């Protein structure tokens, strides 16, 4: 097939399953509300998923019926053939309510089969059920006759192995698979097809289509594939809306805007489910941790060389509170030159919504290309294998979905999972096993006063209050042992404040801060969390001798 008419992978899968007779019913979910790039004989254009089905996948079907709660049952193609249906007079006006509409479709499908059975001219029929989650939704197990009847009819169609042989096809379109009634969603005979966010080729094609319509916004832009690669993870609909606004304002798309544009479009599409960060730090900004930084840089160099077989699936950064685990993750992403995605409020109180939110997040991650997924407080965020009685099993389902995604070997070299926790012992063992988390990096407070002074001096210098060597040596006895970066940051901020409120000399300000220092966290807690981190380490070289000595005393 020429490149201009090549189908995306999800459409190719539909064709293969239908023509082989493996499936006649298809559940389309995921990026179903987006604009689609339609590559047609008269040139590419943008349309809806409904247009894609009619113009690209279903042009040979003589009758195409569609249903949604807003417009009811409609005949999209083949009105003359549909009008020959004898039961149409009995039916009268096409029904708008779900159950009568689904029953009418079932009768017409049987009528088309009967035509074949008696040797009459056969009629090929396709049915498109849009917004299926609205009339066959997942609900708590309550008696609902109408919902059960609709789900039963649709399941019956999906279970029919002769749909393709009869020249019939049924498409259910839903935003998320977990929003559908389990009788429909879990039907093993129906083909579940996820429509992903557009890849680089589709985004480049969309830009080409939009160029004549948005000449001001895309003035001077000729390398559409390069721009599309920078915008991976965005939807065509969001990109089109942005370009039309830019064009209306007379502003062209600048190359420097692409990073911020992608962040804005991705976060808009994802709602409040994620934070999308383009890091501006590197591992050079991490003070200390030389051995850890060497190991991480080696892995990133392998990543850049596409040696993905040598890449870990994920990292666990563990250590006491305030040791800079989140900061290290951001610096790691900046060093790699990839975006960081952090999970936010994906849990919901409605049945099926939490799982549907995770579906959406995973679809976004797959579209981004290379990225780092950072999960802070992983001991709380990742759920449990055995959930409590109060959450209807949501926690265990979240656990299962995340565990499956983390161990998907197709993600190696594409999605790098980074977990952070001060209580790694509370993370389920299966989630931090090799194959999901291959490298567990302990992060400790400064082991000596000299290390603490290096940290304090660097943080003071960043705030414009540098310390000379004499001041460092003089203040060294005041520096506490086992100083965390968080506590050091607080000391540096206090010293900076004192330089602005009556103690102008940096050395005197820091001295005053150190003399009044009280540990922000109980040292016993810090020690216990250090013990946990040391026990989790995957490499003995990650644990300095001073730490082992301290923990053994």
Cα dihedral 429, 276, 409, 185 sign: positive
Report the pLDDT averaged over residues 414-430. Answer: 91
Q: Beta strand 439-442 with 314-318: parallel, antiparallel or unpaired?
A: parallel
Report the candidate in 157, 54, 141, 25 with the shortest Cα–Cα distance to residue 103: 157
Cα dihedral 483, 487, 488, 492 sign: negative
- The span from the CA of 243 to the CA of 215, in Å, is 10
pTM for the structure as a whole = 0.72
Is residue 370 over pLDDT 60?
yes
Phi, psi of 323 (to 5 degrees): -90, 5
Spatial contact of 363 and 194, defined as CB atoms under 8 Å apart: yes
Return the bridge partners of 25, or none: 170
Q: Beta strand 340-343 with 371-375: parallel, antiparallel or unpaired?
A: parallel
Spatial contact of 278 and 263, defined as CB atoms under 8 Å apart: yes
- The span from the CA of 86 to the CA of 242, in Å, is 50
Distances (CA, A) of 477 to 100, 145, 385, 416, 528: 84, 78, 49, 42, 25
Residue 504: both structure tokens together: 């102008």
Q: Render pLDDT for 430-449 as a digit per residue (tens, 0 to 9).
A: 888 899 999 999 999 998 99
Is residue 1 over pLDDT 50?
no
- DSSP track, 88-137: HHHH-SPP-SHHHHHHHHHHHHHHHHHHHHTTPPP--EEEEETTGGGTSB
Report the candidate in 18, 24, 346 with the shortest Cα–Cα distance to residue 178: 346
491: how many CB neighbours lie within 10 A of its CB?
Answer: 23
> For residue 2, what pLDDT is reported?
41
290: how many CB neighbours lie within 10 A of its CB?
Answer: 9
Report the candidate in 26, 23, 25, 50 with the shortest Cα–Cα distance to residue 38: 50
Grouping H, G, I as helix, E, B as strand and the rest as coil, residue 40 is: strand
Alpha helices in 33-94 (DSSP H): 49-52, 79-83, 87-91
- DSSP track, 437-464: --EEEE----SSHHHHHHHHHHHHHHTT
Q: Render pLDDT for 276-315 as a digit per residue (tens, 0 to 9).
A: 777 788 999 888 888 889 999 999 999 988 888 888 999 9
Is residue 140 over pLDDT 70?
no
What rounded mean pLDDT belongs to the chain?
A: 88
Grouping H, G, I as helix, E, B as strand and the rest as coil, residue 18 is: helix
Phi, psi of 355 (to 5 degrees): -65, -40
Residue 489: both structure tokens together: 């940051």
Is residue 326 over pLDDT 90?
no
Q: Render pLDDT for 76-111 as a digit per residue (tens, 0 to 9).
A: 999 999 999 999 888 888 999 999 999 999 999 999
Q: Beta strand 43-47 with 168-173: parallel, antiparallel or unpaired?
A: unpaired
Q: Render pLDDT for 191-217 as a digit per residue (tens, 0 to 9).
A: 999 998 888 889 999 999 999 999 999
> For residue 383, what pLDDT is reported?
67
Grouping H, G, I as helix, E, B as strand and the rest as coil, residue 315 is: strand
Distances (CA, A) of 437 to 328, 331, 409, 424: 17, 19, 12, 12
Question: What is residue 288's DSSP assignment?
Answer: S
Is residue 119 over pLDDT 90?
no
């Amino acid at each position: 097939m020429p490149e201009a008419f090549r189908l995306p992978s999800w459409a190719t899968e539909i064709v293969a399953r239908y023509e082989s007779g493996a499936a006649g019913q298809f559940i389309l979910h995921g990026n179903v509300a987006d604009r689609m790039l339609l590559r047609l004989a008269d040139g590419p254009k943008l349309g809806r998923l409904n247009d894609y089905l009619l113009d690209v996948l279903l042009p040979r079907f003589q009758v195409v019926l569609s249903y949604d709660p807003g417009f009811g049952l409609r005949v999209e193609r083949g009105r003359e053939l549909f009008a020959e249906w004898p039961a149409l007079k009995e039916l009268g006006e096409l029904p708008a309510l779900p159950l009568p509409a689904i029953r009418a479709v079932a009768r017409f499908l049987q009528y088309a089969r009967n035509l074949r059975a008696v040797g009459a001219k056969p009629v090929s029929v396709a049915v498109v059920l849009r917004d299926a989650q609205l009339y066959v939704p997942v609900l708590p197990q309550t008696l609902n006759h109408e919902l059960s009847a609709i789900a039963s009819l649709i399941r019956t169609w999906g279970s029919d192995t002769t749909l393709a042989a009869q020249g019939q096809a049924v498409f259910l379109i839903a935003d998320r698979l977990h929003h559908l009634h389990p009788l429909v969603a879990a039907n093993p005979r129906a083909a579940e097809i996820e429509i992903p966010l557009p890849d680089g080729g589709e985004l480049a094609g969309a830009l080409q289509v939009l160029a004549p319509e948005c000449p001001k916004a895309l003035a001077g832009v000729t390398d559409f594939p390069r721009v599309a690669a920078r915008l991976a993870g965005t939807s065509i609909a969001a990109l089109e809306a942005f370009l039309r606004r830019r064009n209306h304002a007379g502003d062209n798309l600048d190359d420097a805007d692409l990073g911020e544009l992608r962040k804005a479009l991705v976060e808009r599409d994802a709602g409040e489910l994620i934070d999308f960060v383009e890091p501006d730090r590197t591992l050079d900004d991490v003070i200390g941790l030389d051995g850890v930084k060497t190991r991480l840089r080696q892995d990133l160099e392998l990543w850049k060389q596409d040696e993905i077989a040598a890449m870990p699936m994920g990292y666990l950064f563990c250590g006491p509170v305030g040791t800079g685990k989140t900061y290290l993750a951001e610096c790691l992403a900046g060093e790699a030159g990839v975006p960081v995605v952090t999970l936010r409020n994906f849990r919901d109180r409605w049945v099926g919504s939490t799982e549907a939110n995770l579906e959406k997040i995973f679809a976004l991650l797959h579209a981004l290309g290379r990225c780092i997924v950072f999960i802070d407080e992983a001991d709380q965020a990742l759920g449990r294998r055995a959930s409590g009685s109060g959450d209807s099993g949501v926690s265990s389902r979240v656990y299962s979905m995340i565990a499956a995604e983390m161990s998907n070997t197709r993600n190696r070299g594409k999605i790098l999972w980074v977990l952070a926790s001060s209580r790694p012992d509370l993370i389920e063992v299966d989630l931090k096993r090799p194959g999901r988390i291959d490298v567990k990096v302990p992060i400790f407070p400064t082991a000596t006063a000299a290390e603490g002074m290096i940290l304090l001096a660097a943080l003071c210098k960043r705030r414009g209050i540098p310390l000379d060597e004499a001041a460092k040596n003089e203040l060294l006895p005041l520096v506490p042992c086992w100083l965390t970066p968080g506590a050091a940051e607080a000391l540096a901020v206090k010293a900076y404040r004192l330089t602005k409120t009556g103690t102008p000399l940096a050395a005197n300000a820091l001295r005053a801060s150190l003399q009044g220092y009280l540990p922000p966290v109980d040292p016993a807690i810090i020690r216990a969390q250090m013990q946990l981190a040391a026990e989790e380490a995957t490499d003995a070289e990650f644990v300095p001798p001073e730490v082992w000595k301290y923990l053994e005393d």
